[in-house]
Amino acid sequence: MKAALRNYRARMQRVLDYIDQHLDGDLDLDTMSAIAAFSKFHFHRQFTATFEVSVHRYVQLARMKQASNRLASNGALSVTEIAMDAGYESPDAFARAFRQRFGQSPSSFRKSPDWAPWLAAFGPLEIARSKLMNTTYTENDVTIREVAPTQVAVLEHRGDRARLNETIESFIRWRKAAGLSPETSPTFNIFRSERTPANPDDYSMDLCVGTDMPISADDEVMKAGTIPGGRCAVLRVNGASHNLEPAALYLYRDWLPASGEEARDFPIYCQRYITFRPDAAAHDVVAELFLPLK
């Protein structure tokens, strides 16, 4: 990486670190552009170009994440205090924004957090943070593991990836109704096509949750399936798990030809791990990518 690019990324990283450390303070454009040592007239455009989210939106999401963490973990602070620290003018405004984003009132979230919409809401924050991460892999990042077969409930997405969010919402509703929390029941994605096929209608992916509970043949959402066991090449991806295409390309294009191994007749898939801790950062989302081997 060229020195100029390293310096640019370091300056942007200083801004993210400063925001994280001053969420309760006045995060104005003058201060943040000075932290990055960029002109304030161009800083907001540079930030948006780098992180694919505006600085205002980033701060808003980071403050809401902190607020939700405080609700779930700190009974000493009132909802009003948390709302004020998050930059809202009144508890009512905070409650409206909170319910719109998470489908729960702040008080309800404090009593019984629903983590699935919480995770979905902070996707843009995870994506933004991942922009500064190094996604260069080496053979030392890959391990070969003997994997046990896993019984799963499967929701198939077939067709344009633009409609994937609708499928994900159906998946989340089903697993919530079935009591299969991401904390206790593993989450898998089976990639049956490229991320961006030439024909968008050829996009194909399975969303799976590990469970041995019987799935009725009449179930309108899910069907029973199995992720087969056997030898797999495993590549761990930290943080940038919203797009696993670079990791998959490395396994297929670089690692597999050099390894002398042969791929088995089953698609590449991933298991997603999410740490639900009050202090968990967006980059604590981890995925392991599995390439089945003969």
Candidates 78, 142, 76; CA nearest to 106 is 78
**pLDDT tens, residue by residue, 234-291:** 999 876 566 788 888 889 988 998 999 999 999 999 998 865 444 444 435 588 999 9
CA pseudo-torsion sign 201, 119, 290, 245: positive
Strands 223-227 and 150-158: antiparallel
Evaluate whether 226 touches 212 at the Cβ level (below 8 Å).
no
Helix pair angle (40-51, 3-21), 10° resolution: 100
Evaluate whether 18 touches 30 at the Cβ level (below 8 Å).
no
Residue 189 has pLDDT above 80, yes or no: yes
pLDDT of amino acid 204: 95
Q: What own/partner pairs with CB < 8 Å and gap ≥ 24 does 221-224 have?
A: 221/155, 221/170, 221/171, 221/174, 222/153, 222/154, 222/155, 222/174, 223/153, 223/154, 223/156, 224/151, 224/152, 224/153, 224/154
pTM of the model: 0.62
Measure Cα distances from 11 to 3, 21, 32, 51 in Å.
12, 16, 10, 13
Distance CA 142, CA 232 (A): 10
Which structural domains are found in the chain, ordered by start?
3-130 (1.10.10.60), 139-292 (3.20.80.10)
**pLDDT tens, residue by residue, 66-96:** 898 888 876 778 999 999 988 888 889 999 9
